[in-house]
Amino acid sequence: MNWMYSLPLYVVHILIIPLLLIGFIRKVKARLQNRRGPSILQPFWDIAKMLSKAETISKTASGTFRMAPMVNLSAVFTAALMVPWLGVPSPIAGDLFLVVYLLAAGKFCIGLAALDTGSAFGALGASREAAVSIHAEPALVLGLAALAVHAHSSKFSTLLAGTPGNELTTILAALVVVAAWVAVIADLSRMPVDDPTTHLELTMVHEALILENSGRNLALIEYAVALKTSILLGLIGQIILMGAPRHSIGTTYLLTLLLLAIATVVLAVSETVFVKLGWKRVPNLQSFGTGAAILACLLVALKG
């Protein structure tokens, strides 16, 4: 299936799924906390509202602050076109390292923007986010690299193909899922690493990072985060599907959506039952992910 078809497909999903996902998470959480919660479509209205507002920008800020969200979004968007997170071959045949570094590029811009306002909170958030990704990125890359070595290629298309029925693949997939999940949680700064709903600046990670952003500017960032969430969760879904026997593209697509839904539920549950970890203990959590990734590598090294 060439990009003529997949590109519009992906673009459409990119426009819809992320915000839907966020809304869904919020909804599930609310339900788990015995609240009715806002409608699933609330994020759309939020974004629309923010887009219709002019932003308030710190006097200190320079061009970086104004451009960064845009660059970040375009990086995440491009990444979204490269990862087969829908179970459908991606319009651009993405490469594992390329995608990871692309996302890192986005992070770099946002970090700069946070420092641009001279706000202590922004810088705090930036430095914490950097510290988190010191663990998260290697874990993710190691896990995927194990798959890549297994498949002799770092292209997502081949790397995620796997060989059904091969128990090695299954175990590998399981390990990598663990690694990726922990990494993703941390990278998206969700519970228990970070509490996206907190209102105390000192405990924030991502929220502190974007504390200064408002209006348009904030909308772009929020949307980018949502998109990133869906990409990474979709990717994890693909890894889970590796073990499963092959199906037609259509079924895979449906399975992926299902998995996405499940992932959001899991996310919501975990965010309800877990409390936020103390900052000093975050590395301990992440070391589980790294450990799983290294185990996967060991497995590949021995058996592959």
Partner 1 sequence: MFPSSASITIPLTLAAFLWMAAPLAALFSARDTNSRRWSVLFFLGALCVLLAGIDCFGHPPVRIVLPAPLGLGPCRFAFRCDPLSGWFLGVIGGVSAMIAPYLRGYCAHIRARVDMRLFWCALSGLAMSMALVVLAANALTFLVVWELMSLTSFLLVATDHEPRANRRAALIYLAATRFSTAFLAVGFLWTHALTGSWEFGAWRLAGPAALVPGLFVLAGLFIKAGVFPFHLWLPIAHPSAPSPVSALMSGVMVKVAIAVLVRLFVIDPAFTNSAFGILIVVLGAISALWGVLFALVQHDLKRLLAYHTVENIGLILMGAGIAILAGSHGPSLVAQIALAAALFHVLNHALFKSLLFLGAGSVDVGAGTRDLDRLGGLAKSMPWTFGFFTLGAASICALPPFNGFASEWLLYQSFLGSACGSTAPIHRFGALLLIGLLCLVGALAVACFTKAVGVVFQGMPRSVGAQKAHEATSGMIVSQAALAASCVILGLSAPAVLGILQVITAPLPVAGANLLAAWNLPFGALVTSLVITLLAGRVWLRHSQSRLPEREFITWECGFGALGPRAQVAATSFVQPIASMFCVVLQYAQSLESVGENARLFPDELTAHATTEPVLETRVYGPAARWLVQIGDQILKFQAGSIHLYLLTMVVTLLILLAIGGSMK
Find the binding residues for partner 1 in span 247-286 (CB under 8 A). Answer: 279, 283
Nearer to partner 1 by C-beta: 63 or 245? 63
CA 19, CA 43: separation in Å to the nearest integer?
6
CA 173, CA 184: separation in Å to the nearest integer?
15
Nearer to partner 1 by C-beta: 259 or 300? 300
Q: What are 47's two structure tokens?
A: 């974004």
Whether the CB-CB separation of 258 and 53 falls below 8 Å is answered with no
Whether the CB-CB separation of 182 and 289 falls below 8 Å is answered with yes
Under the criterion CB under 8 A, does residue 157 sit at the interface with partner 1? no
Under the criterion CB under 8 A, does residue 11 sit at the interface with partner 1? no
Q: What are 222's two structure tokens?
A: 């929020």
Region from 144-152, 234-242, 248-256, 265-273 binding partner 1, contact rule CB under 8 A? 144-152
Across the chain, which distance is largest between two alpha carbons, in Å?
60
- Minimum separation from the CB atom of position 233 to partner 1 (A): 21
Task: Give me the amino acid identity at 170.
Answer: T
# binding residues, partner 1 (CB under 8 A): 83
Query: Among residues 25, 50, 71, 218, which is the contact residue for partner 1, using CB under 8 A?
Result: 71
Under the criterion CB under 8 A, does residue 291 sit at the interface with partner 1? no
Region from 34-42, 125-133, 161-169, 264-272 binding partner 1, contact rule CB under 8 A? 125-133
- Minimum separation from the CB atom of position 29 to partner 1 (A): 27
Q: In terms of C-beta density within 10 A (0-12 exposed, 13-18 middle, 19 or more buried), how is residue 133 classed? A: buried
Nearer to partner 1 by C-beta: 91 or 237? 91
CA 62, CA 54: separation in Å to the nearest integer?
17
HEC assignment per residue over 264-278: HHHHHHHHHHCCCCC
Whether the CB-CB separation of 25 and 267 falls below 8 Å is answered with yes
CA 184, CA 275: separation in Å to the nearest integer?
18
Under the criterion CB under 8 A, does residue 201 sit at the interface with partner 1? yes
Quick note: the x/- pattern for partner 1 over 40-69, rule CB under 8 A, is: -----------xxxxxxxxxx-xxx-x---
Query: Among residues 42, 74, 170, 203, which is the contact residue for partner 1, using CB under 8 A?
Result: 74
Under the criterion CB under 8 A, does residue 203 sit at the interface with partner 1? no
Look at the block and give the residue holding tokens 């919020």. Answer: 26
Query: Among residues 176, 178, 239, 293, which is the contact residue for partner 1, using CB under 8 A?
Result: 293
